[in-house]
A and B are shown apart, each in its own frame.
Chain A
Amino acid sequence: MKLGLVIDLDTCVGCHACATACKQWNTSGTIGPLSDQNPYGKNPIGSWLNRIRTYEVKEPSADQKLPSADPKLSKADQRTASDNQESSCGSQQFDLYALATKGESTLSFAGINSATGAPASKTVHMPMSCMQCEDADCVTVCPTGASYKRAEDGIVLIDQDKCMGCNLCSWACPYGARELDEEQGVMKKCTLCVDRIYDEKLPESERQPACVLSCPTSSRVFGDFDDPSSDVSRLTIERGGKGLMPELGYKPTNRYLPPRETAQVPAMAKTKQPALSKLKKWANRVIAR
């Protein structure tokens, strides 16, 4: 089994429900408590296993070079692109941004807005938790053996009784998935709610991570990536799910679905209004007052 999450960047609204549900469940779960310092003060700080960031994503203007012009990087990107293709059994790779820049997409938001002439952009909310990497360096660097990856389902966990709080695993994680609990002096990370997903006392529909259950737009899907018929495998293939920072070679399990192509909303055009309707509008306004 290769358990993980698929996160739909098209439908995520950035409400932080997943993060709060995660904190609520896990503070009393197997790795809890997740302590906070100064929670009601000016500079609250605490351990969170899931964080949501918001980005503006837009078509690069002609004079701006993309920061990913690095030959090494693009090679890594190509590699994962072909990896994805293999796993998708020959179905067409869908990369919205790739299509948009090649000019093959006519509907994409990532183009020049014909009405205003400005490059169109989109706001993308991106929740991030542990990617349950296949090649998890956080486990390799751990000197105490507190960090481990389960062979049976691929979940990366921390044995709270063995951790000495050296922070090295958090340095080895490129995704910022590990945070030190200052009160207990041990590292905390997403457990994929290991204490929920196998709990047979729960109804089967609730044997899912807290973040997945709480998501109001169903942007988070939990499942087994090793099972080709699972929702997560199907979505990854259909929507061209991507792993983050493939160039580092961690082989993250979690996949992010790019925003769908959407029809461009035309800018409001100024139309000439007949004198009578103008008069009516003015009259209505006066009466409303």
Chain B
Amino acid sequence: MKPAFSVLFFTVTSGIGYGLLMWLVAMQLISGQVGELQNFLMVGFIGLTLATLGLLSSTLHLANPKNAWRAFSRFRTSWLSREGVFSLLYYPVILIYAYVLYANGGELTLVLKVIGAVSLLIALATVICTGMIYASLKPIRQWHNPLVTPLYLLFSVTSGALAYTMLSLALEASLSPLATSAFVILLFISLLMKIIYFKSIGKPEGSTIGSATGFTQAQVRLLDAGHNADTFLTKEFVFDAGAMKLLRLRWLMIILLFIVPLLLVVATYMFDVAPAVYFAMVSLYFGLFIERWLFFAEARHVVRLYHGDQRA
């Protein structure tokens, strides 16, 4: 699949935004303390801005955005519709939470805790829906994989934990031990899961040119695709980056997304080198971009079987 920048930016950025907001509310619910209200509003504003920027960018790839409002209408069947509904529903809930907290002067009442918990659930649901949009597509076996949705969720929560760590260091000059250690643990889990994912999509399975043409007992080879210029199908689904490039990018992704942030966060924590955590965030962001780019570039739609591929 062709990686479209708007979709890469959307999934990565809104993932971090929702992850950050989840951590912000979760930490308040866990500790029962709000801390500086000003800092809470600041972090909340950053998280919501990231999520919104991502959502806005996702509408950029629509060919007919004037009908985008209709996308909320098929909640019962479409994951894209569910994502839209949850992402929109999130705004009033988190804004009410922030407003009541502000009006209360920072006191966490029971009602507030409930609202906070609901906002957590909606943020989780939004990210899960994003993953399910891809995981529900059967013609792309690299996406129709049980690890795709957990990975989307993990990357959102992990990057959110780092963003939370970074912002708490910047605003309160102290690291939250809980968020920091959670980040390290989540990073290890996501690395492990990503490696299992790479293994599982590497297996030769799925549809073949034989099942695509019905000639399952014969050797089939495309002679003529029927057109001598690009078509919508080749533009949308046929994308070849080259095996070597993909492999190199996998390593670059592992370095930028996992190794560098881990070392830098450990350095920040153990040796008190504060700026390291900012570089960790930058490295993680680029790593996530490469991860998402690979997620598209390595996905092979079965329509490619009608354009010369032997197997999906």
**Which residues of A are interface residues toward B (Cβ below 8 A)?**
14, 16, 19, 42-45, 47-48, 51-61, 64, 66-68, 70, 72-73, 76-77, 95, 97-98, 100-101, 110, 123-124, 126, 128, 137, 139-146, 161-168, 170-176, 179-180, 182, 184-186, 242-250, 256, 258
Contacts and interface: CB of A to CB of B under 8 A. Distances in A.
A286 B221 CA distance: 45
B65 A245 contact: no
A56 B70 contact: no
A173 B139 contact: yes
Contacts of B219: 57-61, 64, 66
Contacts of B224: 14, 53-54
Interface string B61-82: 1111111101111100111110
A42 B228 CA distance: 10
Interface centre among A43, A123, A164, A173 (most CB of B within 10 A): A164
Nearest to B208: A67
B194 interface: no
A141 B64 contact: no
Given A97-B215, A165-B62, A244-B214, A174 B139 contact: yes
Contacts of B71: 143-144, 164, 166
B236 interface: yes
Given A47-B232, A144-B71, A172-B139, 6 more contacts: A59-B218, A141-B77, A141-B80, A174-B302, A247-B211, A258-B214
B303 A54 contact: no
A131 to B, nearest CB: 12
Contact of B214 (A184, A185, A242): A242
The 9 A-B pairs at the shortest CB distance, nearest first, are namely A165-B63, A185-B63, A97-B217, A185-B64, A143-B81, A144-B70, A164-B67, A165-B64, A174-B139
A174 B207 contact: yes
Nearest to A144: B70
B265 to A, nearest CB: 36
Given A164-B67, A172-B139, A56 B212 contact: no
Interface of B: 1, 61-68, 70-74, 77-81, 84, 133, 136-140, 204-227, 229-233, 235-237, 301-303, 306, 310-311
Given A164-B70, A168-B80, A53 B133 contact: no
